Amino acid sequence: MRANAIVYTSNTGYTQQYAKLMGEKTGLPVYSLDEAMEKLARGNAVIYFGWLMAGKVQGYAKASKCYHVTAVCGVGMGATGSQTQDLRRANALPASMPVFTLQGGFDMARLRGVYKLMMTVMVKTAGKGLAEKQDRTPDEDAMLELMLHGGSRVSEENLAAVWEWYQQAR
């Protein structure tokens, strides 16, 4: 089924940036989930972008109750293309659902409340563990770099697999 729109939920802006980049490439309208609830008819086919927290795609459950989600794009700190099977399992996504992971970014200053507290603890514990690990993979090096120094990894290049799927699906 061809998507009519792109819908997203973003916490610090990186997911929104990916949704807008994909909207520019596809010509599809882009809505936050809250905007979509007001402007987009229920049952429409959408590509859903959500930020990741503890393996869960934030907002997906709500979006899937209102719309026909044709693909899920999870945006987190991990490398683009990694952990898709974990994401599929954690979110109970059907095997037929295209699932993509995109490396977003990290900026402690953009976080608020409980999320800031959680990430402070995660950076201290997981960051220390990664820093002390002798045989880090390139993905682990990239994750450690983000934890320690922050920054954005949002890029059109990271959308390549999503774009390829979209072109084949239409």
Mean pLDDT of the residues in the chain: 93
- Which residues lie below 8 Å from residue 57, measured CB to CB, with a gap of 6+? 48, 50, 51, 72, 74, 87, 91
- pLDDT score recorded for residue 37: 96
In this prediction, the residues of the chain whose per-residue pLDDT falls under 70 are none
Helices (H), 40-137: 60-66, 84-90, 113-132
Please give the Cα distance from 23 to 18 (Å, whole number). 8
Please give the Cα distance from 45 to 121 (Å, whole number). 38
Angle of helix 160-169 relative to helix 14-26, nearest 10 degrees? 40
- pLDDT score recorded for residue 72: 98
